[in-house]
Amino acid sequence: MSFGDVCDVVYALLAERVEARALAQYQASVAIAIASNGKSEVVDPDRQRQLFDEWLLEELKPVEPEDRDRQELLRALGLG
């Protein structure tokens, strides 16, 4: 397997995760919109995928030490 193949597999797994989360958010936002007579914004799963792809193409930014600590904490809590 080449490095490019590994990147493709990782992208597919991450995209699947983003889509699953977006679908769950969509379903919840539809239920909230129905319950609130349409006064809630409905999450668009396609837009979430587009935002994910745009994020992947952004220029890398250095991670500050306090950001690393925060990220480590979020991962430990299962939130990141």
- Render pLDDT for 24-69 as a digit per residue (tens, 0 to 9): 988 888 888 888 887 777 778 888 889 999 988 998 877 677 777 8
Into how many domains does the chain fold?
A: 1
The overall pTM is greater than 0.75:
no
Backbone angles phi, psi at 59, to 5 degrees: -70, 140
Say how far apart CA 7 and CA 62 lie, in whole Å.
Answer: 21
Backbone angles phi, psi at 64, to 5 degrees: -75, 150
Query: What range does the domain containing 12 cover?
Result: 3-76
